[in-house]
């Protein structure tokens, strides 16, 4: 009896264990299915999200393309309209500018014509008065005569300088060789000195002409110098009482005009200072060279004789 009861209990326990194992296995299978379903849903959600992101990116790209096309079209139309408007304004400006330039050219041509006619008239009248003025003619003759005499004295001095140097050849014992060397030295020294002096004169004049053309070659200079010449010519009888030649006075007035005009036009104080120094040095050098060369030429002439 007890044995049957034990068997029964054992069978019931086995049945219970089997049922529990079956339920556990079923639970594991259910959990595995649930996990697979969850993984599948997660993958599906990820795929859906990726598709949505791709769709959103594609839609954004299309919107950007559409916006770029709209902006390009609008910009093109605005540019075309702006270009047409600008061309119209430029054409109108050129037409008005041309009309104003033509009007200005006609006005300036009339003013310049009257100005030049008055200027030429003044030049002709002044020159005629200068020619008819005996005092002015005498002053011109004295100036150029003095200038010519000075140049002749300087030239003779250069020849005498060549003669003094040529005397070195006379020290040679042989008469023929001494004669040849003497005249070679005479020619070389004289021609070299004359050529050097002429080169300095031409170089200085060319530099001055270039400077004058750049800064002073205009109507104002002509008007001022014509006025100065007219005053000197008209008042020649009284101006001649001054201890200076009229032509030399005119040259000094011209130099003074250059200096004064430079002071009025230049704002740089250093440039004004340099101008004064350069003008002073130039005038001083010219005077010293002229006086010195004439003195040297006279001394050499006395020594040679």
Q: Tell whether the model's pLDDT for residue 40 goes beyond 70.
A: yes
Q: Tell whether the model's pLDDT for residue 254 goes beyond 70.
A: yes
pLDDT at 220: 82
pLDDT at 237: 80
User: Cα 90 vs. chain centroid, distance in angstroms?
Assistant: 29
Most confident of 160-169, 249-258, 260-269: 249-258
Q: What's the token pair of residue 179?
A: 């004669």
Most confident of 19-28, 105-114, 187-196: 187-196
Mean pLDDT of 21-47: 73
| Position 136 confidence tier, pLDDT thresholds 50, 70, 90 | confident
Q: 164-220: per-residue pLDDT in tens?
A: 777 777 777 777 777 788 888 888 888 888 888 889 888 888 888 888 888 787 878
Q: What's the token pair of residue 295?
A: 């003195």
pLDDT at 245: 84
Q: Tell whether the model's pLDDT for residue 300 goes beyond 60.
A: no
Q: Tell whether the model's pLDDT for residue 279 goes beyond 80.
A: no
CA distance 122 to 168: 59
Q: What's the token pair of residue 102?
A: 């033509």
Most confident of 25-29, 156-160, 190-194: 190-194
Q: Tell whether the model's pLDDT for residue 79 goes beyond 80.
A: no
Burial of 201 (0-12, 13-18, 19+ CB in 10 A): exposed
Q: Is the model more confident about 280 or about 221?
A: 221
pLDDT at 270: 63
Q: Quote the mean pLDDT of the chain.
A: 75
| Position 75 confidence tier, pLDDT thresholds 50, 70, 90 | low
Q: Considering the chain, what percentage of its residues have pLDDT values greater than 70?
A: 74
The answer, as to whether pTM is greater than 0.85, is: no
Mean pLDDT of 240-246: 80
Mean pLDDT of 56-63: 75
pLDDT at 277: 66
Give the C-alpha distances (Å, rounded to integers) separating 168 from 121, 160, 189.
61, 13, 12
Q: Is the model more confident about 269 or about 250?
A: 250
């Amino acid at each position: 009896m007890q044995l049957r009861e034990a068997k029964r209990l054992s069978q019931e326990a086995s049945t219970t264990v089997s049922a529990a194992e079956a339920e556990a296995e079923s639970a594991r299978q259910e959990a595995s299915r649930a996990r697979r379903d969850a993984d599948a849903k997660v993958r599906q959600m990820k795929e859906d999200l990726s598709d949505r992101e791709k769709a959103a990116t594609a839609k954004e790209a299309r919107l950007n393309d559409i916006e770029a096309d709209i902006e390009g079209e609008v910009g093109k139309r605005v540019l075309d309209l702006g270009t047409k408007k600008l061309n119209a304004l430029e054409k109108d400006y050129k037409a008005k500018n041309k009309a104003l330039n033509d009007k200005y050219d006609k006005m300036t041509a009339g003013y310049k014509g009257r100005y030049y006619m008055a200027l030429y008239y003044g030049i002709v009248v002044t020159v005629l008065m200068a020619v008819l003025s005996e005092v002015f003619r005498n002053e011109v003759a004295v100036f150029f005569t003095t200038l010519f005499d000075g140049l002749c004295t300087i030239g003779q001095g250069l020849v005498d300088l060549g003669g003094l140097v040529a005397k070195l050849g006379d020290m040679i014992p042989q008469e023929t060789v001494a004669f040849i060397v003497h005249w070679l030295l005479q020619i070389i020294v004289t021609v070299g000195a004359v050529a050097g002096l002429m080169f300095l004169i031409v170089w200085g004049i060319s530099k001055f002409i270039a400077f004058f053309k750049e800064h002073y070659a205009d109507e104002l200079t002509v008007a001022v110098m014509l006025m100065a010449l007219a005053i000197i010519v008209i008042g020649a009888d009284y101006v001649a009482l001054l201890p200076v030649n009229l032509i030399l006075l005119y040259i000094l007035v011209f130099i003074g005009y250059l200096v004064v005009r430079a002071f009025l036009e230049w704002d740089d104080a250093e440039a004004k200072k340099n101008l004064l120094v350069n003008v002073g040095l130039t005038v001083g050098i010219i005077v010293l060279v002229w006086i010195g060369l004439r003195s040297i030429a006279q001394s050499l002439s006395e020594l040679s004789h």
